Structure 1
Amino acid sequence: MTKKIAVINDLSGFGRCSLTAAIPVIAAMGVQPCPLPTAVLSAQTGYPSYYCDDYTDRMHYFQREWEKMGAEFDGIYTGFVASEQQIENIFDFLDTFHKKKTFLLVDPVLGDDGKVFDMFSENICDLMKELAARADIITPNLTELCLLTDTNYRMIQEMTDEKHLLKIIEQLARNLVKRGLKTVVVTGVHFLDSDDGILKMGNLAVTEKQSSISAFPYVGGSYSGTGDLFASVLAGGMARGDKVSECIELAGRFIEKAIVDSVEEDVPRNDGVNYEKYLGILM
Structure 2
Amino acid sequence: MKKVAVIQDMSSFGKCSLTAAIPVLSVMGVQACPLPTAILTAQTAYDSYYCKDLTAEMPHFIEEWGKMNETFDGIHTGFVTGEQQIDHIMQFLARFQTTDTTVLVDPVMGDMGDLYKMYTSHLLERMRALVKQATIITPNITECCLLTGIPYEKLHNYHEEESFMQAVEEAGQVLHAQTGAQVIITGVTSSYTEKPSISNVVIDAKQSFYHKQPFNGQSYSGTGDLFASVVIGGLLRGQSLEETIKLAEQFLTAAIETTAKQTSLTKAGVYFEQHLGMLL
The bucket for the TM-score relative to the shorter chain is over 0.9
Pick from 249, 253, 259 the counterpart of residue 250 of structure 2: 253
Aligned to 1:83: 82
Q: Displacement of 1:198 after TM fit?
A: 3.4
* Identity across the alignment (%): 46
Alignment of 1:239-278 (within 5 A): 239-278=236-275
Count of matched residue positions in the alignment of Structure 1 and Structure 2:
280
Matched, 1:99 2:74: no
The answer (yes or no) to whether the contact 2:139–2:186 under 8 Å persists in 1 is yes
Task: Write out per-residue CA displacement over residues 32-60 of structure 1, whole angstroms, 9 at most, x where no aligned residue.
Answer: 00000000111111111111111000001
Q: Give 2:135's aligned amino acid.
A: D
Q: Give 1:218's aligned amino acid.
A: F
Work out the CA distance in 2 between the residues paired with 1:123 and 1:143.
Answer: 17
Task: Write out per-residue CA displacement over residues 9-37 of structure 1, whole angstroms, 9 at most, x where no aligned residue.
Answer: 00011000000100000101000000000
Q: Give 1:268's aligned amino acid.
A: L
Q: Displacement of 1:178 after TM fit?
A: 1.7
Q: Displacement of 1:179 after TM fit?
A: 2.5
Q: Give 2:271's aligned amino acid.
A: N
Work out the CA distance in 1 between the residues paired with 2:166 and 2:218.
Answer: 25
Q: Give 2:183's aligned amino acid.
A: V
Work out the CA distance in 2 between the residues paired with 1:266 and 1:249.
Answer: 26
Aligned to 2:201: 204
The answer (yes or no) to whether the contact 1:201–1:216 under 8 Å persists in 2 is yes
Alignment of 1:166-245 (within 5 A): 166-191=165-190, 198-245=195-242
The answer (yes or no) to whether the contact 1:214–1:248 under 8 Å persists in 2 is no
Q: Displacement of 1:221 after TM fit?
A: 1.8
1:202 and 1:55, CA in 2 relative to 1: closer, same or farther beyond 3 A? same
1:34 and 1:160, CA in 2 relative to 1: closer, same or farther beyond 3 A? farther
Q: Displacement of 1:164 after TM fit?
A: 0.6
The answer (yes or no) to whether the contact 2:160–2:192 under 8 Å persists in 1 is no
What is the DSSP-based 3-state SS (H/G/I as helix, E as strand, rest coil) of the residue aligned with 1:188?
A: strand
Work out the CA distance in 2 between the residues paired with 1:181 and 1:251.
Answer: 23
The answer (yes or no) to whether the contact 2:132–2:181 under 8 Å persists in 1 is no
Q: Displacement of 1:235 after TM fit?
A: 1.1
Work out the CA distance in 1 between the residues paired with 2:276 and 2:180.
Answer: 30
Aligned to 2:145: 146
Aligned to 2:42: 43
Alignment of 1:37-76 (within 5 A): 37-76=36-75
Larger CA deviation: 33-42 vs 178-187: 178-187
Q: Displacement of 1:158 after TM fit?
A: 3.1
Q: CA RMSD in A?
A: 1.3
Work out the CA distance in 2 between the residues paired with 1:125 and 1:92.
Answer: 18
In structure 1, the gaps of 5 or more residues are none
Larger CA deviation: 221-230 vs 150-159: 150-159
Q: Give 2:126's aligned amino acid.
A: L
Work out the CA distance in 1 between the residues paired with 2:6 and 2:264.
Answer: 27
Work out the CA distance in 2 between the residues paired with 1:28 and 1:214.
Answer: 25
TM-score by length of 1: 0.96
In structure 2, the gaps of 5 or more residues are none
What is the DSSP-based 3-state SS (H/G/I as helix, E as strand, rest coil) of the residue aligned with 1:40?
A: strand
1:191 and 1:159, CA in 2 relative to 1: closer, same or farther beyond 3 A? closer
TM-score by length of 2: 0.97
